[in-house]
Amino acid sequence: MKLTSYRYATRAWLIGLALATLARAATPAAAPAATPTPAAAPAGESEAARATAPQELFPFLDLFASCLTIVESEYVDQVNPTNVMYSALHGLMRALDPHSEFMEPEATEELKIETEGEFGGIGIELGIRDDYLTVIAPIEGTPAAEAGLMPFDQIVKIGDESARSLSINEAIKRMRGKPGTVLRLTIQRRVQERRELKDFTLTRAVIKVTSVRDVAIIDPTNHIGYVRVTAFDKTSASELQSAIDGLVTQGMWALVLDVRNNGGGLLVEAIKMADMFLESNTVIVSVRSRVLRHEQVFRASGEGAQYRMPLVVLVNGASASASEIVTGAIKDNQRGLVIGSKTFGKGSVQTVLPIGNNNCSLRLTTAKYYTPSGVCIHGTGIYPHIEVQLTMDDEIKLIEKRSNAFRKADPAQLTKAERAHYDMLCAARDTQLERASDILTALRVLGNGGLERFMQTPGAPAVPGAAPVAPPAPTNAPPRDDDASTD
């Protein structure tokens, strides 16, 4: 087909699509099987009105078709119509946000394989920060963590190619491959006031995550337990329940739940995890969108394990997505204290939508997550009740201290330099965990009612001496309940 014919064929196609969109918007969605909380649109506003009026797109379609016509007739080389159209669609989606993308037929097929099969990777959660591909967190026990990749490392090159203009999904595609194959990365890391480039050679592996780690009574005198959750996979909630039950049999009175450096995972596991600590029918998280059918609200079921012990949640800048959902639910429902530093702010929902008749699709951001008080997680993050900052150097020491290499090291077999480094790691202090333990000890001394005294009210200090944190203003009413997935 000649590009010059696109001007008319494409406009006719868009008119048909626009009419179909208006018809869908005017048709009430079928009621879900569950008992949802209805999402109220602003007075007098329908779903069709909230969407862009299709006729507003027509002048731009003419502009686009005119551009294609000029390219076809004037460009120095002959162009492939398919490549031109696909490139335009890639650019359109890339301009929206880092998580939306146009998927050609090959990419659509690969997505099906990824959701049904097995693939090799290096084990990192990725985001975009300062326009760079950024490591949110390396997943513990994976090639990325064992090689020494750290939160906030910026990926400069994948192999020999620059990663500067890649979307998150394009980068993930390049990093995945057959288990046992080699991947080279170049990262930029901020060290104090300077930036350093580092090269890493990693071997891809099938990523199998043990998401609940370091289960222990950290203070036998005051019966304070500790659990660290490193990811939200399909067994994380059941693993956490088993860990807590084991600590309870050891006499645990209070719990420190550590979701630092946890880049997220499955929404359903975050819901189950928050459900363990909240009263029945309490809002956990809501999903809000410009399109009403994408909106949902998730509430605690009151079923299964219910834990009522004093609770502290530890977070940092590498706590993202599902970690932020759990943290926001605990904080906004005043179920426990949040200690650490502000979380990453990754809270958007992507939906895969088929388009056309040649197996193309869009991975499109269709909604965002909101905490029970109406705070949008995406781009904002969760602010702790009590801020305790760690330097990047301290963060690196603590991550290295948890590595298999450190745990398996035999001090007697180390060289002098290795022993000095080992002793430095042994001496590294986790001041965020120390603060959590101190506060829970104080609560135990205060006795019943002590926890309420430490709960934060909006704009007021959580603890004497703690700086007040003013939460963002709540948004409109919570929406209805359905299914959703994290990205």
The question of whether 346 is a catalytic residue gets the answer yes
Q: Which of 272, 331, 346, 397 is catalytic?
A: 346
Q: Which of 111, 149, 395, 246 is nearest to 103 (CA)?
A: 111
Q: Which of 153, 219, 332, 430 is catalytic?
A: 332
Amino acid at 464: P
Question: Strand 124-129 vs strand 120-121: parallel, antiparallel, or unpaired?
Answer: unpaired
Please report, for residues 141, 207, 324, 477, the alpha-carbon distance to residue 375 in angstroms, rounded to integers and kept in the order given: 33, 33, 11, 12
Q: Which of 211, 286, 321, 348 is catalytic?
A: 321
The question of whether 321 is a catalytic residue gets the answer yes
Q: Which residues contact 275 (CB under 8 A, 6 or more apart)?
A: 284, 300, 301, 302, 303, 304
The question of whether 437 is a catalytic residue gets the answer no
Please report, for residues 72, 80, 427, the alpha-carbon distance to residue 2 in angstroms, rounded to integers and kept in the order given: 8, 10, 70
Q: Is 201 strand, coil or helix? A: strand
For residue 271, count CB atoms less than 10 angstroms from its CB and return exposed for 0-12, middle for 13-18, buried for 19 or more: buried
Going through 337-408 in order, the beta strands assigned E by DSSP cover: 337-340, 348-355, 360-370, 386-387
Q: Which helix (H) or strand (E) holds 257?
A: strand 254-258
Are 187 and 134 within 8 A, CB to CB? no
Q: Which of 71, 100, 74, 104 is nearest to 87 (CA)?
A: 104
Catalytic residues, by residue number, are 321, 332, 346
